Amino acid sequence: MDIVTPAQPLCRLDAIPDGGATAVDAMLADGEESLILLRHGEQVHGYLNVCPHTGRRLDYAPGKFLLKNDTLICAVHGATFNQGDGLCIAGPCRGEHLREVAVQVVDDVVHLSVGM
């Protein structure tokens, strides 16, 4: 596994609407990547902003995502993913997962976690 800088801040927790999502850019071991951050209360899940079906971004406009009933929907082909574990439950890549990016909230700021 690649190690990333644990102190790399991504955004303030309040920049993500509770029950919503945002996109941020982060420096990962492979270079700069777009990340999806999904918030539920104080908990944040992070994924690469890449659909496993086409390799394209999931947002329909920069940082704007289709969310419905605890799912995230790819704007390109309609693949539907569980927000909590990134599993595709409907669409062309059913059974595949979004690539999780480990994040942590420290003092109301979302950071990359060690050892992602």
Q: What's the pTM?
A: 0.89
Token pair 């690469």 in the structure block, residue: 48
pLDDT band at 106 (very low <50, low <70, confident <90, very high): very high
Is 39 within a domain?
yes
pLDDT tens digits for range 19-57: 999 999 998 888 899 999 999 999 999 999 999 998 999
Helices and strands, counts by H and E, the chain: 0, 11
Alpha-carbon distance 47 to 38, whole Å?
Answer: 9
Is 61 within a domain?
yes
Is 4 within a domain?
no
Rg (CA), the chain: 13
Quote the pLDDT of residue 5.
45
Count of structural domains, the chain: 1
Is 90 within a domain?
yes
Token pair 């690539």 in the structure block, residue: 99
Cα dihedral 22, 48, 66, 85 in deg (nearest 10): -110
Is 3 within a domain?
no
Three-state secondary structure call for residue 13? helix
